[in-house]
Amino acid sequence: MSKQCRLAVVGATGAVGREMLSTLAARKFPATSVTALASARSAGNKAPFADGELTVRELTAESFKDIDLAIFSAGGGTSEQFAPHAVAAGCVVVDNSSAWRMDDRCPLVVPEVNAHALDKHRGIIANPNCSTIQMVVALKPLHDAARIRRVVVSTYQAVSGTGQKAITELETQVRQLFNMQEPEIKVYPHRIAFNCLPHIDVFLENDYTKEEMKMTRETVKIMEDPKIAVTATCVRVPVFYGHSESVNIETEKKLTPAQARAILSQAPGVQVYDNPGQKMYPMPLDAAGEDAVFVGRLREDESIANGLNMWIVADNIRKGAALNAVQIAEELLARNLLRVQDRNAFLA
């Protein structure tokens, strides 16, 4: 990749921001400069990058004057406030929050699935929800082969999806329980240690959670097929890293498990790990620290004519966040799309 750019990472001191920097360095992203941005309280801190470190600068509306590309790994409110300033300065934004995902002006991109959507960007590209990313990477090649009608997904999501405070809470609760102490509950509404919570994000009027509706709406947008019906149940489990998903699909055309394995074995970003006789199936332990989306437990759904069940696992901090954002950045460079067509597109 010969093209180069001046790059900034917003939210560089957070768990995903640190992973962004690590991924950029590991993939040798061709930036002529890398700037670490964060809130005022983090300004002056050091952020590891490559063989050295970056001094964190305070994020302001003026931070993007000499930046070509900014990867945002901050909350939705931060992105809503500062991403328009970046675009107005001529900087292209790849945003990891939920703020812009369903905005018609913003492509929602998983490079293995719909990289072509970048061609029409207007300055902000949205990085999808972590659980959506890993699912569509596995589903898109099957959809191309047999047209998916319906998706039923149940997720088993690691606490790292909530951030460092949730990782610390799980560690603390386990320690407290082993020491016969009452566990402290601060991050989640109930104890997470040795428990499962069918509650991620807030409940909506339809009694689904926001996380569940993200998966439903984002999948349709990314797959570019409004006919796909999606329903989700999202569960937080006491695992540190790696989201797992039980996915059932119904297709228009019959697709056998053997055919699905053959298709997925050739799919970009997918690793088939499926041999039940040898107790071989994906687990979060396998996915932690890995880039691939792992697929196993492929089997026919015997309750319907054209149904398949599968088990999908990926590292939610890597492919579910940092890696996908960096892959989007790489695609922008490769397609010569590091330019803003309309600098006022996101200004009120």
Tens of pLDDT along the chain (348 residues) come to 446 799 999 999 988 999 999 999 999 999 999 999 999 999 999 999 999 999 999 999 999 999 999 999 998 999 999 999 999 999 999 999 999 999 999 999 999 999 999 999 999 999 999 999 999 999 999 999 999 999 999 999 999 999 999 999 999 999 999 999 999 999 999 999 999 999 999 999 999 999 999 999 999 999 999 999 999 999 999 999 999 999 999 999 999 999 999 999 999 999 999 999 999 999 999 999 999 999 999 999 999 999 999 999 999 999 999 999 999 999 999 999 999 988 888 986
Contacts of 271 (CB under 8 A, 6+ apart): 292, 293, 294, 295
Q: Give the 3-state secondary structure of residue 49.
A: strand
Determine whether 234 is an active site residue: no
For 246, phi then psi, to 5°, come to -95, 115
Locate tokens 């409940």: which residue? 203
Residue 62, Cβ neighbours under 10 Å: how many?
8
For 23, phi then psi, to 5°, come to -70, -40
Angstrom CA distances, 232 to 102, 217, 229, 259, stand at 18, 11, 10, 25
What is the reported pLDDT for 92?
A: 98
| Structural contact between residues 134 and 246, judged by C-beta atoms closer than 8 angstroms | no
Residue 261 and residue 148: Cα distance in Å, rounded?
16
pLDDT one-digit tens code per residue, 53-97: 999 999 999 999 999 999 999 989 999 999 999 999 999 999 999
Residue 264 and residue 40: Cα distance in Å, rounded?
45
Residue 15 and residue 22: Cα distance in Å, rounded?
11
What is the reported pLDDT for 1?
A: 44
Catalytic residue among 130, 190, 199, 234: 130
% of the chain with per-residue pLDDT over 90: 94
Residue 174 and residue 191: Cα distance in Å, rounded?
10
| Structural contact between residues 251 and 306, judged by C-beta atoms closer than 8 angstroms | yes
pLDDT one-digit tens code per residue, 150-172: 999 999 999 999 999 999 999 99
Determine whether 243 is an active site residue: yes
Which pair of tokens denotes residue 198? 């069918």
What domains does the chain contain, in order, with CATH numbers? 5-127+322-334 (3.40.50.720), 131-163+195-316 (3.30.360.10), 164-194 (no CATH)
